[in-house]
């Protein structure tokens, strides 16, 4: 690494909600910057106004904040090398397009969209693909084929044009990608990309290279889909005279569907019931919602942890990482080349881990709003005690209610199968006696109840196996749940007795 300060950027286009793959790109950039004491920038690449989606930029910023990936510079974060939104940098790019024309590395092209469409169509009819490139450019309407006078006249009269890169002929471009190793492209396969349009807007390629240069970017860490743009970008740096300070490249592997075949898409999430976006997104046109990790109840720590392991590992079998641990152990050389399969079950498993890590007080404070929504009031200390009993059965905070609702409201029904199996002809009678006995206790603590109850059972010569499930059914409505004596304590003496009596009244055996 050179002695320049490490500067990396996340450069999304605001064309919709940020995919989880985009968040992973941001995360790897962030980790790399932090690890090397460098800067992490957010640049919004919105030169393609046709693809602009309102709300997408705010969504990107909120997603980064939720994940704790706060940029040092960028849209919404300040910085000395702004503006960081490309649509606000319009005036900057033209001079570089002009420079490339002057050096002969680019040319004006006047072919109309209709003419190009026709060429595409004709090529298709002959089972070929039309490409504006070194093989075709000499037969097309551009400043390489038209006379200088005609070019001048067309420009002066305001004819629409584009500026295209003049791809060098049949040249190998080799680059040492920091993840993929040596990659070679031959320019004979590459087309003459449009760099600039007569409406004054650069395309992605020119704006991206110019901005990375002006923003002193040292490393471009981005998704694999941009690998094919790398030779053009490298040639642009060369043509602009910036070869010495150009960034190094690292192309991250794709995130694959749970089946391992093909790129993970929004449709996979819809089909299999998991989010592919960090936050809930409402499409401004269709009004359609796409679920998000945040709204689905994932903790940002879990989301970040699972993303980090999509294509990277620490070289050992460590799976849980705090952000600091990720920063300390992150290394681009440990990012894999092949696609990383996303496993939605593992995502839940990560969330489960982070939920278990939370203190009972923190979980109680997350549970309280759910209780309010359900219309049940409860004392915080009691909620903490309840949370402690049930959290190990939960992957998400919302499940605290599924697992613990009976602490707050009496069961409305009883599990039929358990009744069939465990409700004997003498169960009601026994429960009535137990209810009466429980009413005599003066110290309503789980250990005390347990001790006295055991003595009572012994005196009666009843076996635990016969009455425990019916009592549980009366209190919970189901045969599962945490320790019965803990339930009794937290449900409270009067309410427990009440529930047992209600069950006796409701459950009749044949
Ligand atoms: N604007 C591109 C995107 O949406 C950025 C690619 C790059 O990082 O160069 O992903």
Q: How confident is the model at residue 168 (pLDDT cuts 50, 70, 90)?
A: very high
Cα of 70 vs centre of ligand 1, distance in Å, is 18
Which residue stretches of 283-359 are H helix? 300-308, 323-329, 344-357
Say if residue 1's pLDDT is above 80.
Answer: no
Q: How confident is the model at residue 377 (pLDDT cuts 50, 70, 90)?
A: confident
Mean pLDDT of 347-355: 98
Residue closest by Cα to atom 3 of ligand 1:
12
pTM of the model: 0.94
Q: How confident is the model at residue 3 (pLDDT cuts 50, 70, 90)?
A: confident
Mean pLDDT of 191-214: 96
What pLDDT digit, counting tens, does each position of 41-52 carry?
999 999 998 888
Pairing mode, strands 7-10 and 39-42: parallel
Cα of 141 vs centre of ligand 1, distance in Å, is 30
* Strands, E assignment, 364-406: none
Mean pLDDT of 260-265: 94
What pLDDT digit, counting tens, does each position of 7-47 carry?
999 999 999 999 999 999 999 999 999 999 999 999 999 99
Query: Which of 11, 24, 233, 249 for a ligand 1 pocket mutation test, highest count of atoms within 8 Å of Cβ?
Result: 11
Cα of 207 vs centre of ligand 1, distance in Å, is 11
Q: Are 147 and 140 a contacting pair, CB within 8 Å?
A: no
Please report the atom of ligand 1 found closest to the CA of residue 229.
Answer: 9
Q: Does 266 qualify as catalytic in the annotation?
A: yes
CATH: 3.40.50.970, 1.10.3720.10, 1.10.10.350, 3.30.70.20. Which one for 410-510? 1.10.10.350
The domain segmentation of the chain, as residue ranges, is: 88-252, 266-357, 359-405, 410-510
Q: Are 54 and 284 a contacting pair, CB within 8 Å?
A: yes
Vertex 348: Cα angle to 342 and 351 (nearest 5): 120
What pLDDT digit, counting tens, does each position of 64-112 carry?
999 999 999 999 999 999 999 999 999 999 999 999 999 999 999 999 9
Pairing mode, strands 289-290 and 162-165: unpaired
Percent of the chain whose pLDDT exceeds 90: 96
- Active-site residue identified among 65, 90, 94, 266: 266
Query: Which of 10, 13, 48, 220 for a ligand 1 pocket mutation test, highest count of atoms within 8 Å of Cβ?
Result: 13
d(CA 452, CA 302): 44
Mean pLDDT of 460-481: 95
Can you read off the two tokens belonging to residue 51? 């693809």
Please report the atom of ligand 1 found closest to the CA of residue 15.
Answer: 4
Half-sphere exposure of 130 (CA within 13 A, CB side): 16
What pLDDT digit, counting tens, does each position of 313-346 carry?
999 999 999 999 999 999 999 999 999 999 999 9
| Ligand 1-lining residues (CB < 6 angstroms) | 11-13, 45, 204, 208, 220, 222, 226
Tell me, what's the pLDDT at 508? 76
| Average per-residue pLDDT for the chain | 96
Q: Are 346 and 308 a contacting pair, CB within 8 Å?
A: no
Mean pLDDT of 366-394: 96
Tell me, what's the pLDDT at 2? 61
Neighbours of 418 (CB within 10 A): 17
Cα of 257 vs centre of ligand 1, distance in Å, is 22
Fold of the 88-252 domain = 3.90.800
d(CA 67, CA 62): 9
Say if residue 241's pLDDT is above 70.
Answer: yes
Q: Are 168 and 138 a contacting pair, CB within 8 Å?
A: no
Can you read off the two tokens belonging to residue 290? 């796409």
Query: Which of 48, 53, 63, 222 for a ligand 1 pocket mutation test, highest count of atoms within 8 Å of Cβ?
Result: 222
Which residues lie below 8 Å from residue 391, measured CB to CB, with a gap of 6+?
355, 356, 358, 360, 363, 400
What top-level class would CATH report for the domain 266-357? mainly alpha
Mean pLDDT of 374-395: 96
Say if residue 122's pLDDT is above 60.
Answer: yes
Say if residue 489's pLDDT is above 90.
Answer: yes
Pairing mode, strands 73-74 and 39-42: parallel
Q: How many residues does the chain have?
A: 510
Sheet holding 39-42, edge to edge: 73-74, 39-42, 7-10, 219-223, 248-252
Architecture of the domain delimited by 359-405: Orthogonal Bundle (1.10)
Can you read off the two tokens belonging to residue 265? 């898409």
Tell me, what's the pLDDT at 177? 98
Say if residue 407's pLDDT is above 70.
Answer: yes
Neighbouring-strand partners of residue 74: 42, 78
Percent of the chain whose pLDDT exceeds 70: 99
Vertex 452: Cα angle to 446 and 455 (nearest 5): 140
Can you read off the two tokens belonging to residue 475? 């209190």
Q: Are 47 and 15 a contacting pair, CB within 8 Å?
A: no
Which helix (H) or strand (E) segment holds residue 464: the answer is helix 464-476
Neighbouring-strand partners of residue 165: 106
Tell me, what's the pLDDT at 509? 64
Tell me, what's the pLDDT at 49? 85
Say if residue 510's pLDDT is above 60.
Answer: no
d(CA 334, CA 329): 10
């Amino acid at each position: 690494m050179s002695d320049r300060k490490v500067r990396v950027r996340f450069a999304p286009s605001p064309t919709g909600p940020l995919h989880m793959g985009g968040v992973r790109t941001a995360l790897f950039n962030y980790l790399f910057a932090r690890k090397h004491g460098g800067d992490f920038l957010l640049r919004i690449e919105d030169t393609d106004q046709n693809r602009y989606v309102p709300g997408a930029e705010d969504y990107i910023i909120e997603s980064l904040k939720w994940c704790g990936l706060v940029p040092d510079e960028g849209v919404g974060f300040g910085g000395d090398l702004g503006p960081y939104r490309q649509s606000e940098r319009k005036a900057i790019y033209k001079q570089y397009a002009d420079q490339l024309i002057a050096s002969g590395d680019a040319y004006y092209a006047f072919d109309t969209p209709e003419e190009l469409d026709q060429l595409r169509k004709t090529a298709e009819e002959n089972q070929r693909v039309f490409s504006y490139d070194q093989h075709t450019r000499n037969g097309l309407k551009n400043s390489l084929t038209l006379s200088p006078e005609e070019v001048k006249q067309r420009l002066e009269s305001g004819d629409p044009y584009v500026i295209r890169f003049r791809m060098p002929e049949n040249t190998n471009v080799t680059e040492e990608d920091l993840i993929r190793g040596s990659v070679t492209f031959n320019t004979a396969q590459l087309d003459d990309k449009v760099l600039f349009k007569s409406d004054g807007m650069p395309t992605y390629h020119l704006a991206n290279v110019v901005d990375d240069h002006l923003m002193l970017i040292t490393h471009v860490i981005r998704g694999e889909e941009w690998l094919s743009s790398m030779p053009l970008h490298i040639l642009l740096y060369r043509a602009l005279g910036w070869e010495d300070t150009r960034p190094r490249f690292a192309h991250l592997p794709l995130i694959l569907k749970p089946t391992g075949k093909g790129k993970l898409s929004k449709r996979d999430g819809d089909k299999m019931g998991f989010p592919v976006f960090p936050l809930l997104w409402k499409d401004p046109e269709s009004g359609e919602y796409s679920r998000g990790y945040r709204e689905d109840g994932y903790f940002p720590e879990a989301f970040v942890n699972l993303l980090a392991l999509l294509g990277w590992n620490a070289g050992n079998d460590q799976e849980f990482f705090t952000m600091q641990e990720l920063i300390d152990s992150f290394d681009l050389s440990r990012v894999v080349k092949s696609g990383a399969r996303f496993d939605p079950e593992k995502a839940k498993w990560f969330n489960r881990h982070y939920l278990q890590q939370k203190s009972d007080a923190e979980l109680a404070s997350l549970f309280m709003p759910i209780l309010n929504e359900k219309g049940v009031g409860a004392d915080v200390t009691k909620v903490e005690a309840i949370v402690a009993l049930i959290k190990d059965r939960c992957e998400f905070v919302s499940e605290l209610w599924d697992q613990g609702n009976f602490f707050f409201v009496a069961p409305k029904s009883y599990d039929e199968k358990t009744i069939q199996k465990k409700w004997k002809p003498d169960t009601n009678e026994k429960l009535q006696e137990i209810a009466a006995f429980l009413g005599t206790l003066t110290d309503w603590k789980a250990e005390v109840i347990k001790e006295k109850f055991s003595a009572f059972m012994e005196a009666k010569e009843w076996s635990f196996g016969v009455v425990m499930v019916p009592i549980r059914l009366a209190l919970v409505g189901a045969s599962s749940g945490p320790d019965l004596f803990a339930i009794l304590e937290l449900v409270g003496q009067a309410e427990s007795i009440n529930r047992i009596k209600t069950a006796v009244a409701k459950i009749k055996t044949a």
